[in-house]
Amino acid sequence: MNRYFLEPGAWTERTLLLSGEEAHHAIRVMRVKEGKHIEVFDGEGKSAVCTVTQASRSAIECRIETAITQDHPNHPVTLCQSIPKGGNMELIVQKAVELGVSTIQPLITAHTVVRPDAAAKKQAKWQRIALEACKQCGQNHLPQIEEPLAFSDWINTGKSTDCRIIAALDPAAVHFKKLLEKHPVTGGVELLIGPEGDFSADEYQLAFAAGFKPVSLGEIVLRVETASLYALSVLKHNLSLA
């Protein structure tokens, strides 16, 4: 069943109206007709199976048949991601949404290749990719893609979660399971992933001082996108067992 996004403020109890890009895609691309069933979600946990009652060239009206609301995760995960080169950030955003992250914070580090001005221009594109990923995978909570920040500016914004983890090539790094056993998660989690050239020595010290605890991703040095998705998968698995 095709899924479409409608902002929470536009919902009513019985009928929904799709317009703009969502209506255009439904009508012109997916050829949605009256009587067809579609699914609509609001990005905050609610979704509804609807019957299309009217389809014009610019809007779709549909009647809600059944609606559900997904609870917010007990342990929301923020992926603090150093922006990799090329289009790898797009892949990371897409797959991170599929793995259930709540927020993605793009970071510009000492070894980041992308320019700050170029990163800022990509924020809207990454948000669109997150939305499309939600449509594809059935995720009803739309993750927020935050404004890209310089590492030094971001690290000083203050601790926002009770569990901060950094994937590190550091002798002090421990296995995920050992870390979570020693420091049980009671709230949200921030997962910090570095760029192709890793974090600088100064960045590591700033992260440790800010409460980030180092974890190892194994003996093999992983590519950025592999490290991000592997770490998210292991983290989500361990959190599901908590």
pLDDT at site 177: 87
pLDDT at site 76: 95
pLDDT at site 114: 82
Q: What pLDDT, in 10s, does the model give residues 209-242?
A: 999 999 999 888 899 999 999 999 999 998 886 5
Q: Which residues of the chain have pLDDT under 50?
A: none
Instruction: Provide CB contacts within 8 A for 53, sequence distance 6+.
Output: 15, 34, 61, 62, 63
pLDDT at site 242: 59
Distance CA(201)–CA(101), nearest Å, equals 28
CA angle 122, 128, 130 (to 5 degrees): 105
* Beta pairing class for 46-55 and 15-19: unpaired
Domain boundaries, the chain: 3-69, 77-241
pLDDT at site 160: 67
pLDDT at site 124: 95
What global pTM score does this model have?
0.94
Architecture of domain 3-69: Beta Barrel (2.40)
CB atoms closer than 10 angstroms to residue 156: 9
Domain 77-241 has CATH 3.40.1280.10: yes
DSSP state of 8: G
Distance CA(216)–CA(77), nearest Å, equals 18
